[in-house]
Amino acid sequence: MSTPTMSAWRVRRPGPMSTRPLLRVETDVPAPAPGELLVAVRACGVCRTDLHVTEGDLPMHRPEVIPGHEVVGEVVRVGPAAGSEFTVGERVGIAWLRHTCGQCRFCLRGAENLCPASRYTGWDEDGGYAEFVTAPAAYAHHLPTGYSDAELAPLLCAGIIGYRALLRADLPAGGRLGIYGFGGSAHLTAQVALAQGAEVHVMTRGEKAQALALALGAASAQGATERPPTQLDAAILFAPVGELVPPALEALDRGGVLAVAGIHLSDIPTLNYQRHLFQERQIRSVTSNTRSDAREFLAFAEHHHLEVTSPRYPLDRADDALADLADGRIAGAAVLEV
Indicate whether 189 and 50 sit together in one domain: no
Q: Which residues of 248-283 are buried (b: 16+ CB within 10 A; e: fewer)?
A: bbebbeeebbbbbbbbebeeeeeeeeeebeeeebbb
Helix spans in 121-183 (H): 149-152, 158-169
Model pLDDT for residues 243-295, shown as the tens digit of each residue: 999 999 999 999 999 999 989 999 999 999 999 999 999 999 999 999 999 99
Indicate whether 109 and 188 sit together in one domain: no
Indicate whether 127 and 143 sit together in one domain: yes
Specify if 224 maps to a domain: yes
Whether residue 253 contacts residue 282, with contact meaning beta carbons closer than 8 Å, is answered with no
Model pLDDT for residues 10-35, shown as the tens digit of each residue: 999 999 999 999 999 999 999 999 99
Indicate whether 17 and 135 sit together in one domain: yes
Indicate whether 141 and 37 sit together in one domain: yes
Q: Is the pLDDT of residue 84 over 90?
A: no
Indicate whether 166 and 280 sit together in one domain: yes
Specify if 62 maps to a domain: yes
Indicate whether 189 and 271 sit together in one domain: yes
Indicate whether 201 and 262 sit together in one domain: yes
What is residue 331's predicted lDDT score, i.e. its pLDDT? Answer: 80
- Output the domain CATH number for residue 227: 3.40.50.720
What is residue 206's predicted lDDT score, i.e. its pLDDT? Answer: 87
Indicate whether 85 and 211 sit together in one domain: no
- Output the domain CATH number for residue 80: 3.90.180.10
Total structural domains within the chain: 2
Indicate whether 125 and 140 sit together in one domain: yes
Indicate whether 10 and 132 sit together in one domain: yes
Specify if 74 maps to a domain: yes
Q: Which of 270, 285, 300 is the last residue of a domain?
A: 285
Specify if 293 maps to a domain: no
* Domain span at 253: 160-285
Model pLDDT for residues 66-79, shown as the tens digit of each residue: 999 999 999 999 99
Cα-Cα-Cα-Cα dihedral sign, residues 159, 71, 285, 294: positive
Specify if 219 maps to a domain: yes
Specify if 298 maps to a domain: no
Indicate whether 179 and 207 sit together in one domain: yes
Q: Is the pLDDT of residue 1 over 80?
A: no
Specify if 294 maps to a domain: no
Q: Is the pLDDT of residue 2 over 80?
A: no
Specify if 297 maps to a domain: no
Pairwise pLDDT comparison (255 vs 206), residue with the higher score: 255
Mean pLDDT of the chain: 96
Model pLDDT for residues 124-146, shown as the tens digit of each residue: 999 999 999 999 999 999 999 99
Whether residue 71 contacts residue 44, with contact meaning beta carbons closer than 8 Å, is answered with yes
What is residue 244's predicted lDDT score, i.e. its pLDDT? Answer: 98
